[in-house]
Amino acid sequence: MTNSGKGAKDTDPLKNIVAHAKEYGFVFPSSEIYDGLQAVYDYGQNGVELKNNLKRLWWKSMVQLNDNVVGVDSAIFMHPTIWKASGHVDSFNDPMIDNRDSKKRYRADELLEARIEELRDAGNENEAGELAASMGKLLESEDLEGVRDLIIEQGIVCPLSGTSNWTEVRQFNLMFSTHMGSVSEDSDKVYLRPETAQGIFVNYLNIQKSGRKKIPFGIAQIGKAFRNEIVARQFIFRMREFEQMEMQFFVRPGTEMDWYEAWMEKRMNWHVAMGISKDALRFHKHEKLAHYANAASDVEYNFPFGFKEVEGIHSRTDFDLKNHQEYSRKKISYHDPETNVSYIPYVVETSAGLDRLFLMTLCEAYTHEEVRDGDNVKQRTYLKFPAFLAPNKVAVFPLVKKDGLPEYARNIFNDLKMDHQVVYEEQAAIGKRYTRQDLIGTPYCITVDHESLENGTVTVRERDSMAQERIALDKIRSYVEEKLSDRNLLNKI
């Protein structure tokens, strides 16, 4: 996110981004004409393209470029016992606390984490460490009264009421449930999956056997997940319906920490390759581990509201497969031909939230700056997406709507659209058309003018520098191809 110069729009940068996302067809509140549905969003004409590009690049780097990772697409509805075996029915809870004066509800662990962050920022590293350790212990032992006492002891107040008039801490299960079939009985209860990972675990045997896979190997999946988030805020950061891109990597027990480190490095490199600046990214080691993990780190991005998680890398041991073996009574072990030993594989998972990657990409791209035009200083807003992520790759314009220029431009458009998402526009003055494309992040605009008819060249304008160059018609396709290639980036991961 770049915001330079006087007269920049934001007092709250997130507000500008949310408004921009709506005005230019990226993200709309769901059911808006009915006043919306809290923490649910729709992706518009440009948003869906950006989202698809993120998915495509994740899939390519995971499945296409790793010869030991394959994909799967499992159903959202699954047998309800799966969620018992996975621990989600009993343990997928958030500790909630209410402030009696403001009537606002908070996640108790998040209140304490914000305090830890405050202490760190003030240079009180020891105090922060001690608090993190106390919090970890209390949450681990589910000592909810202790968590409340710690909040009060730390003098944490509700940001709205300014008081510490807190209720007790309660656990709240985040899974949505519904009923399958026409009769609502408890035995027909099914859940909307809160993570895509379980669809991978329960297909592990199918894929290992039908694909004759040898350990180590991974299974990747992109799909919807649902969580009844209590504190839903920060736009598409925390939603009730969202999309995950997860990969479970099955390894020999005892090797999981090496793979955990390796995947941490690989995933961080991927985010940097996607155009995110290195200093806006960091790892955050979990103090409190999820019920299935023996090590976990988050990749965090510096959003306008601070460093927050975009992806989790978890060492999940054999927790899930072992439990599925126990609950399903189907043998899930692997005979390792190298060691001649049978075991239940350990799992290292990478779990990215697609909507959070989308928001990170948008924040990183949103640029508001001053440009000099002779004596004039103008404000300019544009989206600086890497070309391979931009919703539209190229816009093709005839300079005017006559003299055969539209036909010429349409030919270029019809040729390029076979390989890329390209737009054609002939309305409005050329400057306005450039601005419109800048606002949605189109990296290249091709303009056909009268000179094109004379010498077969067109103008290509580059979004960030606004520089223009003339290119011969027969070079356009290779020019665009080279500019849009993700080959060099993905090579570095």
239 forms part of the interface with ligand GAP (CB under 6 A): yes
Distance of closest approach, residue 237 Cβ to ligand GAP, in angstroms? 6
**Residue 267 engages ligand GAP in binding (rule: CB under 6 A):** no
CB of 110 to ligand GAP, least distance (A): 13
CB of 324 to ligand GAP, least distance (A): 15
244 interacts with ligand GAP by CB under 6 A: yes
Among 127, 229, 261, 369, binds ligand GAP (CB under 6 A): 229
Site for ligand GAP in 394-433 (CB under 6 A): none
Among 312, 345, 391, 398, binds ligand GAP (CB under 6 A): 312
Nearest residue (CB) to ligand GAP, 360 versus 460:
360
Identify residues 188-207 at the interface with ligand GAP (CB under 6 A): 195, 197
What is d(CA 94, CA 172) in angstroms, rounded to the nearest whole number?
A: 5
Q: How far apart are the first and last CA of the chain?
A: 24
- Which helix (H) or strand (E) covers residue 125, if one does? helix 125-140
CB 245 within 8 A of CB 222: yes
Contact pick of 213, 227, 368, 463 for ligand GAP (by CB under 6 A): 227
How many chain residues interact with ligand GAP (CB under 6 A)?
A: 19
Shorter beta-carbon distance to ligand GAP: residue 355 or 438 = 355
Least distance between ligand GAP and beta carbon 313 (Å):
9
For the bound state, the minimum distance from the C-beta of residue 39 to ligand GAP, rounded and expressed in Å, comes to: 8
State yes or no: residue 242 binds ligand GAP (CB under 6 A). Answer: yes
Whole-angstrom Cα distance, residue 318 to residue 277? 35
User: What part of residues 99-138 is at the interface with ligand GAP (CB under 6 A)?
Assistant: none
**Between 357 and 440, CB nearer to ligand GAP:** 357
**Cα–Cα distance, 87 to 92 (Å, whole number):** 7
Give the nearer residue to ligand GAP in terms of CB position, either 92 or 397.
Answer: 92
Per DSSP, the chain holds a count of helices (H) and strands (E) of 17, 24
Residue with tokens 């999820």: 290
Distances (CA, A) of 340 to 334, 336, 486: 10, 5, 41
Residue found by looking up tokens 């994740």 in the block = 58
Q: What is each CA distance from 451 to 355, 427, 469, 474, 480, in whole angstroms?
A: 44, 20, 13, 15, 21
Instruction: Please report whether residue 310 would count as binding ligand GAP according to CB under 6 A.
Output: yes
Among 44, 95, 223, 353, binds ligand GAP (CB under 6 A): 353
| Smallest gap from residue 314 Cβ to ligand GAP (A) | 6
Measured at the CA of 378, the angle between CA 375 and CA 379, to 5 degrees, comes to: 160
Interatomic CA distance for residues 396 and 153, integer angstroms:
63
Between 39 and 150, CB nearer to ligand GAP: 39
Stretch that binds ligand GAP, among 20-28, 330-338, 344-352, 476-484 (CB under 6 A): 344-352
Nearest to 158 by CA among 167, 146, 171, 149: 167
What is the C-alpha separation between 266 and 270, in angstroms, rounded? 6
Could you tell me the two tokens for 273?
């390759």
Q: Which of 20, 88, 356, 461 binds ligand GAP (CB under 6 A)?
A: 356
Distance CA 199, CA 223 (A): 10
Exactly one of 351, 367, 452, 459 binds ligand GAP (CB under 6 A); which one? 351
Return the residue of 94, 109, 246, 486 that touches ligand GAP, per CB under 6 A.
246
Binder of ligand GAP out of 94, 109, 287, 311 (CB under 6 A): 311
Token pair, residue 23, equals 């005005």
Residue nearest to ligand GAP (CB): 353
What the block records as the tokens of 390 is: 């931009």
Which one among 98, 101, 143, 309 touches ligand GAP, defined by CB under 6 A?
309
412 vs 394: CA distance, rounded Å: 11
Angstrom distance (rounded) from CA 259 to CA 294: 13
| Sole binder of ligand GAP in the list 287, 355, 364, 486 (CB under 6 A) | 355
Q: Which of 336, 287, 338, 296 is nearest to 319 (CA)?
A: 296
Listed in sequence order, the DSSP H helices in 169-212 are 197-201, 204-210
Q: Which is nearer to ligand GAP, 108 or 480 (CB)?
A: 108
Residue 74's Cα: distance from chain center in Å?
A: 20
User: What is the helix, strand, coil percentage profile of the chain, to 5?
Assistant: 40, 25, 35
Nearer to ligand GAP, 290 or 473 (CB): 290
Instruction: Report, in Å, the least distance between residue 402 CB and ligand GAP.
Output: 49
**Nearest approach, Cβ of residue 250 and ligand GAP (Å):** 15
Beta carbon of residue 238, minimum distance to ligand GAP (angstroms, whole number):
4
Quote the CA–CA distance of 349 and 296 in Å, as a whole number: 9
Binding site for ligand GAP (CB under 6 A): 195, 197, 227, 229, 238-239, 242, 244, 246, 309-312, 349, 351-353, 355-356
